[in-house]
């Protein structure tokens, strides 16, 4: 929940000019709902895609305050983030709700960034793989792999300044990849798995060097164009 419409417009103009030559990565930004239409107008025809931070699981109706996939498409959105840890924590959204959102979003032509991850308590209890498996199986029930991105967000590393070590990130990502392969077979190879959890210009190189980390879901470090650009231009192969 950052940036007014004018602030988002200024950000996008600055960011676009700094990354217009980037062709070896998929770039997507997710401003708040209020800025989506203005952002979509600026991003149209560029190398940066547009995502929404959330969506509702009905196309229309008496659901005051909610935003449907149809509305998102009308702003120029290509992607939508579903199941973010803050939606789970503060708004008590579970994998059943996420599943409904994913199905309707996919039916309306949106690509989905599905977020999963364990809390500190769950990690310390040795339940990381159990939690990730549960979220994948239930969140992706009766879903295919087409247009799907999965983001691993260790909840204990979001906004805390704590980051999973490259070994911890790789271990979790490999587990996720194996579980996706069990669900989708060879089609799972097309699913990108992002790491999200206090990603910064200082740690992105080592995280991206992990063989099963395909990209990053960036939070606070994406709020300034220069910081986000440094992450986009990470140095490949550095551990």
| pLDDT tens track for 70-127 | 999 999 999 999 999 999 999 999 999 999 999 999 999 999 999 999 998 999 999 9
Contacts for 72 with CB less than 8 Å, ≥ 6 apart: 36, 52, 55, 80, 105, 108, 110
Q: What is the pLDDT of residues 8-65, one digit of tens each?
A: 999 999 999 999 999 999 999 999 999 999 999 999 999 999 999 999 999 999 999 9
Instruction: Please confirm, yes or no, whether 92 is among the known catalytic residues.
Output: no
Q: Which of 86, 153, 202, 229 is catalytic?
A: 153
pLDDT tier at 148, thresholds 50, 70, 90: very high
Distance separating alpha carbons of residues 57 and 52, to the nearest angstrom: 14
Q: What is the pLDDT of residues 203-237, one digit of tens each?
A: 999 999 999 999 999 999 999 999 999 999 998 75
Q: Does residue 239 surpass a pLDDT of 50?
A: no
Distance separating alpha carbons of residues 37 and 70, to the nearest angstrom: 13
Compare 49 and 197 and report the one with higher pLDDT. 49
pLDDT tier at 163, thresholds 50, 70, 90: confident
Compare 161 and 148 and report the one with higher pLDDT. 148
38 touches 13 (CB < 8 A):
no
User: In 108-197, where does DSSP find H-type helix?
Assistant: 120-124, 128-139, 166-184
The CATH number, out of the four listed (3.40.50.2020, 3.20.20.70, 3.20.20.140, 3.30.450.40), of the domain defined by the range 5-232: 3.20.20.70
pLDDT value for 157: 84
Instruction: Please confirm, yes or no, whether 153 is among the known catalytic residues.
Output: yes
Q: Which of 59, 66, 78, 84 is catalytic?
A: 84
């Amino acid at each position: 929940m950052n940036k007014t419409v004018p602030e988002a417009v200024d950000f996008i103009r600055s960011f676009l000019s700094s990354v217009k030559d980037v062709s070896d990565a998929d770039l997507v930004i997710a401003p708040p709902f209020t800025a989506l239409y203005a952002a979509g107008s600026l991003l149209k025809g560029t190398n940066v895609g547009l995502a929404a931070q959330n969506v509702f699981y009905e196309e229309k109706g008496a659901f005051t305050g909610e935003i449907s996939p149809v509305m998102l498409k009308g702003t120029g959105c290509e992607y939508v983030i579903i199941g973010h840890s803050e939606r789970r924590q503060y708004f008590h959204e579970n994998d059943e709700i996420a599943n409904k959102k994913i199905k309707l979003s996919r039916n309306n032509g949106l690509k989905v960034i599905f977020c999963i991850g364990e809390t500190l308590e769950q990690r310390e209890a040795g339940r990381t793989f159990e939690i990730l498996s549960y979220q994948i199986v239930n969140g992706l029930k009766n879903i295919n792999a087409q247009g799907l991105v999965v983001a691993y967000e260790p909840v204990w590393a979001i906004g805390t300044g704590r980051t999973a070590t490259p070994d911890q990130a790789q271990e979790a990502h490999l587990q996720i990849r194996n579980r996706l392969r069990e669900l989708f077979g060879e089609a799972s190879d097309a699913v990108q798995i992002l790491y999200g959890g206090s990603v910064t210009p200082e740690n992105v190189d080592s995280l991206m060097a992990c063989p099963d980390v395909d990209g990053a879901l960036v939070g606070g470090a994406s709020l300034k164009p220069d910081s986000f650009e440094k992450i986009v231009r990470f140095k490949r192969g550095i551990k």
